[in-house]
Amino acid sequence: MDNIRNLLVIITLILVTGSVSFGQDRYVVKYKYKPQTEYSLEEPGAFLTQKALDRRDREGVLADSTDLPVSQQYVDEVRGMVEKILYNSKWFNASIVIATNEQVKKLLDLDFVMEEGVELIAKGYYTEGENSRKSLLKSPLNIQILSKSKTEDDYAFQNGLLGVPEMHAEGLTGFGMTIAVFDGGFLNMEEIEGMRHLLDDEKIIATKDYVHHWSDNVFRADAHGTSALSLIAANDVNTLVSGAYDANYILCITEDVDSEYRIEEYNWARAAEFADSLGTDIISSSLGYTIFSDPSMNYGKSALDGETALITKAASLAGEKGILVVSSAGNDGGSSETTITAPADAKGILSVGAVNMDLTRSSFSSVGPTADGRIKPDVMALGNGVRLLRGSTGSSTSSGTSFSAPQIAALAAGIWQGRPEWTKDELIHYILQSGDNSADPNNEFGYGVPNFELAYFGEVLETENQPEIYETKIYPNPLDGNELFIQFGHQEQCDYTLLDINGRVIGKNTLSRKSNGDPYQIQLTSINTGLYVIELVEGFTAERHKLLIRQ
């Protein structure tokens, strides 16, 4: 969550006291045991769909006690002692309740409640009928929204960077995959032409609102989720075509755009449980937590160890059940210390940073490592000036790791559609290895920007005995004259593309050289001064490099 946004939370709470009730707060009640009278691990089909069971079979994972519902006996007893039970979390064997201080004291006396097992997770609560006004605060992990008229290259660069056109050429558009998107709302989605197919073709298979718990209308509250979803699911050649427009979707509101409390972590966990039970393959989450409205809830740097934050535990657990979690790394990259936010520190997921169009790291993109020394972020995608859909009046651009992560989720969906036999960890492996920084991953870029073809055909590449590739060199750089030399690869030819920083193709050709040890030679004339990107492809090896021209 943006630090700027958090500074405004208290002001917002004052403004919305007409719809937030105080005196009774929201608590988590944690249980010691999980006795069952209705369900058994011998018959998991009673509480998991066949698609969820099929995923577990692929992963070699059996249903376990975390999959069993919370004891109905406990729920019934607690319900009679509190104002209201909002929901139960089976993964964490707990109930989320609205209660008074006196009720909390009585809950702590129950023999099936853990010692110190009642914890405040949010002040006040929303009353039914709270209006669906749009928050005036900045959206989660969002930087800016800039209107811009459409051109034929609007989304070419962000898609081309990941190899989405090549993925679509293989017939991989996410068909048969299920993607859950967690956010603060999907306002305007029904009105956007490029998203209508999701409704018309019944691609949205389930929705839940864990903030306004009395309603499952997710097309409200905030358009941040709409923007994130558009980068996975949009299909309008006039505005935006995204990577996985044929997938099925589960849309959940877990983020409260008017405050910041730890209940949002539990909302996320409950949404993950819900999505898991329906057999989701991927969770795309453009949310992050370290700073809360109540400072006592804050997470310090040492807590970003992959094991502390509740939402991080939930993301890791989802991964253990075979779900690919794709999470924004965070937008606090200006700090000199570790700046990732939970759940980006989780193990077994993909956390995504942001690059500019010149492939440098966006200044806001959070950096690692985790507190236990693991490299984060894992991969990168375009996060500055991303073309997306937000309202019914056309496309716009925005910046933030909120909008780099969904692109990776879409890429993963297409790859997994074509490689259904891969486990979640195999999918992650090949995506990481396809990154343009995979040879030397670090805590600014992770493994770099992944590439569809390198990931999709990665299994084949790993079994081949490939000759050594020469270290790539492009010189002189900056270029003051016309003659450019490129040392790349080991074959006698390679494909060369020169793009400007807006993604427009300036030149494209197949380069040849006399022998493998010689550099390629290129004559560049009539090209304006500026920063460019050179893409080089040899077989299944692809690299992108910056070139500054000073002619």
Q: What's residue 533's pLDDT?
A: 85
Tell me which amino acid residue 8 is: L
Report for 152-161, 366-375, 467-476: range of highest mean pLDDT:
366-375
In angstroms, the CA 346 to CA 325 distance is 9
- Residue 158 predicted with pLDDT over 90: yes
- Residue 460 predicted with pLDDT over 70: no
For the chain, what percent of residues have pLDDT higher than 70? 88
CA angle (146 as vertex; 142, 151 as ends), nearest 5: 125
Q: Where are the beta strands (DSSP E) in 329-400?
A: 350-355, 379-382, 386-391, 394-399
DSSP string, 399-454: ESTTTTHHHHHHHHHHHHHH-TTS-HHHHHHHHHHTSTTTTS-BTTTBT-S--HHH
Instruction: Check: CB of residue 125 under 8 Å from CB of residue 211.
Output: no
Q: Give the tens place of pLDDT for each residue, 208-256.
A: 999 998 888 999 889 999 999 999 999 998 899 999 999 999 999 999 9
Alpha helices, DSSP H only, in 203-262? 224-233
Cβ neighbours of residue 102 closer than 8 Å, sequence gap 6 or more: none
- Residue 133 predicted with pLDDT over 50: no
Residue 264 phi/psi, 5-degree rounding, is -65, -30
Quick one: average pLDDT of 164-187?
Answer: 96
Pull the structure tokens for residue 514: 């006399």
Half-sphere exposure of 269 (CA within 13 A, CB side): 27
Instruction: Check: CB of residue 152 under 8 Å from CB of residue 159.
Output: no
Half-sphere exposure of 500 (CA within 13 A, CB side): 8
Q: What's residue 530's pLDDT?
A: 80
Residue 30, Cβ neighbours under 10 Å: how many? 17
Tell me which amino acid residue 224 is: H
Strand partners for 88: 95
Please choose, from the candidates 527, 524, 529, 525, the residue with its C-alpha nearest in 3D space to the C-alpha of residue 550. 529
- Residue 303 predicted with pLDDT over 50: yes
Quick one: average pLDDT of 101-121?
Answer: 96
Cβ neighbours of residue 440 closer than 8 Å, sequence gap 6 or more: none
Asked if the peptide bond before residue 35 counts as cis, ω within 30 degrees of 0, the response is: no
Q: Where are the beta strands (DSSP E) in 131-177?
A: 144-147
Quick one: average pLDDT of 504-519?
Answer: 86
Element (H, E) at 103: helix 101-107
- Residue 478 predicted with pLDDT over 90: no
Residue 83, Cβ neighbours under 10 Å: how many? 17
Please choose, from the candidates 9, 325, 281, the residue with its C-alpha nearest in 3D space to the C-alpha of residue 140. 9
